[in-house]
Amino acid sequence: MNNLLLIFIVIGFLAVVLMIEGGYLLWNSHRGSEVRRVQRRLQMLSAGGRLSTESELIKERLLSSTPAIERLLQQVPRVQQLDRLLMQSGLNLTVGRLGSRTAFFAAAGLIVWLMSPLPKWAGPLCVLGAAILPLIHVLRIRRTRLSTIEQQLPDALDLMSRAMRAGHAFPSAVSMVGSDGPQPIAREFAIASDEVNYGILMQDALRNLSLRVPITDLRFFVIAVAIQRETGGNLTEILDKLAALMRARFRLLGTVKVLSAEGKWSGWILSLLPIVLLGVINLINPTFMSILWKDPAGLITLWIGAGLLIAGIIWMWRIVKIHV
């Protein structure tokens, strides 16, 4: 009897261990780190929009991890453009997460308005101003990342040119930039190289690259490679000239930025000075400033002043914005 009980305990222990092991293997095959890594890479490959139908291995980029929200977001017009914007920023963020952050900041702005002695008309402004903060953050990260890629592109072209002079093929040169180049440009070229390895044509992979990184210099590179593949020519010489042209443009752009720096700072000061003075005077003497939103004439004056301020900001921004 004791032996049968011991055997039963051992069998029960083994059954529990095997059940736990089977559950772990099942979870790891669907939610493990390796599976998540592969899914993340496949989602990155489809970020620029699939221009070729040759490979069915590419996974559609999800707008949300929740299926119900995913189906709801699919019905929103132009949501793919917002998803592409998130992909261009390099942030590990989906449209659903951005929407939840926007709702959280909007609720925070509403709470701040309810707890502060601001007038009623300031409520929508507080909610709207807080709600656009996540989008402003994404746009700032995207602009910084694209500017960094633009600065790194001439060196990447030089690396590709040297690799092809050493005897490597063009796809191998693209792969070398993805493996040996600096971030974040190495990540984009690595995705293009992976797309080629999955069976997509090189021309389509480069076109996807130009969609993920919408900068003019990179589009020039993609067009130059496409023309060379159609008509022939020395691609290494083309890449060298493109890199030299980009560096010359950067030098000219730096000169223009130095010359226009005074105008930009003047624009910032003139734009923020009325708002700062309005806030300071309101803190010092709220009764004196309350006439602006309590008296009808004060409201009209406030709206006219805001319109003129916005028009002046747009005018100064257009003056100091010089394209090179």
271-289, pLDDT tens digit by residue?
888 888 888 887 888 777 7
CB–CB of 100/131 below 8 Å? Answer: no
Yes or no: say if 91 and 141 are a contact pair by the CB < 8 Å rule.
yes
pLDDT at 53: 39
pTM assigned to the model: 0.64
Which of helix, strand or coil describes residue 9? helix
Q: What are phi and psi of 3, to 5 degrees?
A: -65, -40
Distances (CA, A) of 203 to 9, 84, 193: 64, 20, 11
- 3-state SS assignment for residue 149: helix
**How many other β-carbons are positioned within 10 Å of the β-carbon of residue 284?**
9
Query: What confidence tens digit (pLDDT) does each residue in 134-161 have?
Result: 888 888 998 899 889 888 999 889 888 8
